Amino acid sequence: MSAGGLPVLEAHGLSLTYADGPRRVEAVRDASLVVARGESVGIVGPSGSGKSSLLFLLGGLRRPDAGEVRLLGRPLAPEPEANAALRRRHVGFLFQEPFLVPYLSVRENALAHVEGGQAADRLEALAAAVGMRDLLDERPWRLSGGQRQRAGLLRALAGDPDLVLADEPTAFLDQPAGEAVMDLLEAQRGRAALVVVTHDRGMLARASRVLALADGRLRPA
């Protein structure tokens, strides 16, 4: 399944079931995935197909009912709290809604969870690439929806993560802005493994692989 290089992310036999009222929903069934550094994997599926749940499992944010996730060869603990340090150092999350801390500037949002002085220089370069350099010291409430999404992207990438998990990164963006975000994500491939969840297959034209999630099962698209 890997396209080459060292696997950054390995997931084996992941399953997740949750209650939706009286109904039990099998969001993810026996999903396995290996993503190497330099690889970009797209996961497509209709709304409610469990794409986000799978992403949260891969990032160690949800406890799987079955299966195991390894990050850089190290198994993630079932308890999400135990993976906090690993997540902070090695994983960059880009959520569907950017979720910026409202009282921090774009720069502070991006650097608040990052250790090391190089991140500030890296952030400047990333911001320039997505046209956000002049907005680094603005608070989120002054930004448009697209700018907020790009600010979320800066936060995900500022720490130079080994794994980038992006959930519908272009959902609220127009075509040019969405492509700019995807360009920047693709540009990270040389440094990181990339998993992008989206319902828009058009955004995955440059992905190494595209998988489809249907009925909780992960298959080649």
**Residues making contact with other proteins (CB under 8 A):** 52-53, 56, 59, 61-62, 80-81, 83-89, 91, 93, 95-97, 99-104, 108-109, 111-113, 155, 167-168
Q: What does the alpha-carbon distance between residue 52 and residue 30 come to, in Å, rounded to a whole number?
A: 16
Task: Compute the least distance from the CB of residue 58 to other proteins, in Å.
Answer: 12
34 vs 80 by CB, closer to other proteins? 80
Q: 133: helix, coil or strand?
A: helix
Task: Compute the least distance from the CB of residue 149 to other proteins, in Å.
Answer: 12
Q: What does the alpha-carbon distance between residue 3 and residue 209 come to, in Å, rounded to a whole number?
A: 9
38 vs 161 by CB, closer to other proteins? 161
109 vs 208 by CB, closer to other proteins? 109
Task: Compute the least distance from the CB of residue 70 to other proteins, in Å.
Answer: 17
Task: Compute the least distance from the CB of residue 3 to other proteins, in Å.
Answer: 27
Strands (E), the chain: 7-20, 23-36, 40-44, 66-71, 74-75, 91-94, 163-167, 193-198, 209-214, 217-220
61 vs 129 by CB, closer to other proteins? 61
Task: Compute the least distance from the CB of residue 39 to other proteins, in Å.
Answer: 23
84 vs 128 by CB, closer to other proteins? 84
Dig out the tokens for 208 from the structure: 């190494």
- DSSP 8-class letter at 76: P
Pick from 211, 192, 109: which is nearest to 184 by CA?
A: 192
63 vs 206 by CB, closer to other proteins? 63
Pick from 43, 140, 129, 127: which is nearest to 97 by CA?
A: 140
User: What residues does 7 pair with on adjacent strands?
Assistant: 36
Task: Compute the least distance from the CB of residue 4 to other proteins, in Å.
Answer: 28
- DSSP 8-class letter at 97: S
